[in-house]
Amino acid sequence: MRDSKTPSGAVPISALRGPVISDALVRTFRGHGLDVRFVYTIDDYDPMDSQSMRLQEGMAEHMGKPFFAIPSPDPSVASDFAEYHATRFISLFARLGIVPEFHRMRDLYRSGALDHQIDLVLRNAETIRAIHKRIAHVEHAPGWLPISVICENCGRIGTTLATDYDGSTVAYACMPAYVEWAQGCGHHGRMSPFKGNSKLLWNEQWCAQWDHFGVTYEEGGKDLLTAGGSRDRSNAIYREVFGKEPPLGLAHEFFLFGGRKMASSKNVGAKAYELVNIYPPEITRFLMLRTHPKRHIEFDPAGMTLPRLVDEYDRSADAYLGDASTDLARTWRLAQVSPDPAPPPPYRARFGTVANWLQIPSITPEKEAEREKAAPLDDAELRDLHVRIELAKEWLERWAPEDAKFAVTPSLPPAAAALTPAQRRFLANVGAEIGRTADPEVMQERLYEIAKECGLVRAEGGVSRDAFAAIYIALFGKPNGPRAAWLILALDPDLVRSRFADASRDSVKV
Ligand SMILES: [Zn+2]
């Protein structure tokens, strides 16, 4: 099993679908008793070709150089640009429970580990040229060789054209206009392509890795797997030049961050690469695994997305506690950071409820959770609660829709002026009830009785929504909020009494 990554920048959440699926496959294969190696190459011999980097200060001169030869953004973290980003994504992967064998291309090339494959490719350059033409309709000039050498004069790798392999050296020219994104220095000469002096081009490097590591399975994004695309080219080269069958593998569909219609929207609240640090790792894994790999994901983190995602995650945890062999239960298991996880805590505070608790100043979520569970929380339950508290804080700040947010206003809100006489009577009577019980179930029952006494009933029977709306309007200035009895018992009793007394007066001063 193999995958690879270019160490060129921060990892957006959309780039994690492949690694999470690959890791889930490795775990599943191992679970069936297969001895699987999971190899991940860090492509630090690739040239810097990013347009966005070119515009950054001090980067223009490095365009076309291999990533390992570009200075580190922070030398205290890593010695060069490639290692700086590699360090970050290796630790991100570890946090997500993805721990493949990492191999840096600089080590593979410099040690000569791929010299045999380089020689094979160079001797078969004409066959490879014909394959590129046949499968991708890309026509390279006669004499073209599928490698890039590192220019001895300027150190660039993306600007050189190599020709004329004689079995130990190639001729090369570092050309000023070979690519649009970098300028070569004009130097030319002959050199050995071995021991790190050159890298194979993308398709040929892919084949060399399959051959070197003996890859038999490779998962990949659909973008590489279209007809005539990169994978088709590599497959043909592997068959015709290396004489081997390419790896089998699943192809996953796209993960679109923000969705198509959100692509132009500026305010998503967090960038795709920030999200991987905001979401707990098991939620990120669950997000990647809950949708079948053959279906694309349009992910928009705004609004109610996160509460729904965590609710679904909780359903998968409950499924696991029931029958662990169902698909939903297996998804929960594969979403965990550990391949051999402890079962989920049976009590988990619902995400939306935690978000409500956080918005009521006098509430301590730990106490509230204990009351909801009707027993003290154990360590696992407390840890789970604290993860949810941190996540709910982010959600409230970045993505929660207005009607999910509330805060007790400092004084009677203007909206209270529109309360009806029945609603005012209701609030006066509820105010008188405060302090008589601390049990939310009993209080909820009393709220229903008082509402009926005040005539706040629906024609078809039951209590009118106007009753509870009166409570929310008096406290928040808007007609909805969390469960009323739990809310008013959680607040300071004096505040509730005086607020409901103010709201119940016939002429409201605002
Ligand atoms: Zn040069």
Same domain for 69 and 98, yes or no, is yes
pLDDT value of residue 210: 97
**Across-strand partners of 163?**
171
* 202 Cα to the center of ligand 1, angstroms: 21
* 158 Cα to the center of ligand 1, angstroms: 9
* 255 Cα to the center of ligand 1, angstroms: 38
* 187 Cα to the center of ligand 1, angstroms: 5
**Across-strand partners of 299?**
257
* 155 Cα to the center of ligand 1, angstroms: 6
Task: Write the CATH number for 264.
Answer: 1.10.10.770
Tens-place pLDDT, residues 301-332: 888 999 999 999 999 999 999 998 999 999 99
- Binned at pLDDT 50, 70 and 90, residue 282 comes out as very high
**Which two three-digit tokens encode residue 101?**
């064998």
Query: Residue 411: CB partners within 8 Å, gap ≥ 6?
Result: none
Tens-place pLDDT, residues 239-269: 999 999 999 988 888 888 875 544 434 445 5
**Which residue is it, tokens 């594969």?**
334
Angle ∠(417,420,422) on CA atoms, nearest 5: 140
Rounded-to-integer distance, Cα 193 and Cα 170, Å? 7
pLDDT value of residue 159: 96
DSSP 36-86: ---EEEE-TTSB---HHHHTSTTTGGGTTSBGGGSBPS-TTT-SBHHHHHH
**Which residue is it, tokens 């008013």?**
488
- Binned at pLDDT 50, 70 and 90, residue 58 comes out as confident
Candidates 179, 170, 177, 120; CA nearest to 149 is 170
369, 404, 439 - which closes a domain: 404
* 194 Cα to the center of ligand 1, angstroms: 18
DSSP-assigned letter for residue 95 = H
Q: CB of 19 within 8 A of CB of 90? A: no
* 145 Cα to the center of ligand 1, angstroms: 18
**Which two three-digit tokens encode residue 204?**
């040929």
* 136 Cα to the center of ligand 1, angstroms: 29
Same domain for 89 and 213, yes or no, is yes
Tens-place pLDDT, residues 148-176: 999 999 999 999 999 999 999 999 999 99
Sign of torsion over alpha carbons 223, 225, 228, 231: positive
Same domain for 247 and 265, yes or no, is no
Q: Mean pLDDT over all residues of the chain?
A: 91
Task: Write the CATH number for 95.
Answer: 3.40.50.620
* 336 Cα to the center of ligand 1, angstroms: 48
Specify burial of residue 147 (Cβ count, 10 A radius: 0-12, 13-18, 19+).
buried
Candidates 478, 471, 464; CA nearest to 503 is 471
pLDDT value of residue 459: 84
pLDDT value of residue 265: 42
* 179 Cα to the center of ligand 1, angstroms: 13
Residue 94 predicted with pLDDT over 80? yes
Q: CB of 152 within 8 A of CB of 274? A: no
Same domain for 262 and 388, yes or no, is yes
Identify which has the larger pLDDT, 345 or 8: 345
* 149 Cα to the center of ligand 1, angstroms: 10
pLDDT value of residue 261: 47
Half-sphere exposure of 482 (CA within 13 A, CB side): 24
Domain count within the chain: 4
Task: Write the CATH number for 472.
Answer: 1.10.10.350
Sign of torsion over alpha carbons 239, 241, 247, 249: negative
DSSP 371-418: HHHTS---HHHHHHHHHHHHHHHHHHHHT--GGG-----SS--GGGGG
* 197 Cα to the center of ligand 1, angstroms: 13
Please state the pTM of the whole predicted model.
Answer: 0.84
* 199 Cα to the center of ligand 1, angstroms: 15
* 174 Cα to the center of ligand 1, angstroms: 5
Same domain for 71 and 105, yes or no, is yes
Length of the chain: 510
Tens-place pLDDT, residues 444-470: 999 999 999 999 998 888 888 999 999
Domain around 277 = 257-404
* 148 Cα to the center of ligand 1, angstroms: 12
Count CB-CB contacts under 10 A for residue 469. 19
Query: Residue 14: CB partners within 8 Å, gap ≥ 6?
Result: 255, 256, 257, 272, 299
Q: Tell me how far CA of residue 15 lies from CA of 9, 209, 312, 374, 477, in angstroms.
A: 12, 21, 22, 42, 43
pLDDT value of residue 185: 96
Does residue 409 belong to any structural domain of this protein? no
- Average pLDDT score over residue span 87-106: 96
**Which two three-digit tokens encode residue 316?**
């998968």
200, 217, 235 - which closes a domain: 200
Q: Percentage of the chain surpassing pLDDT 90?
A: 71
Same domain for 434 and 377, yes or no, is no
Rounded-to-integer distance, Cα 304 and Cα 284, Å? 16
200, 216, 235 - which closes a domain: 200
Same domain for 104 and 242, yes or no, is yes
Q: CB of 68 within 8 A of CB of 129? A: no
Rounded-to-integer distance, Cα 149 and Cα 190, Å? 10
* 90 Cα to the center of ligand 1, angstroms: 32
H helices of 176-241, where? 202-213, 230-240
**Which residue is it, tokens 């490097």?**
205
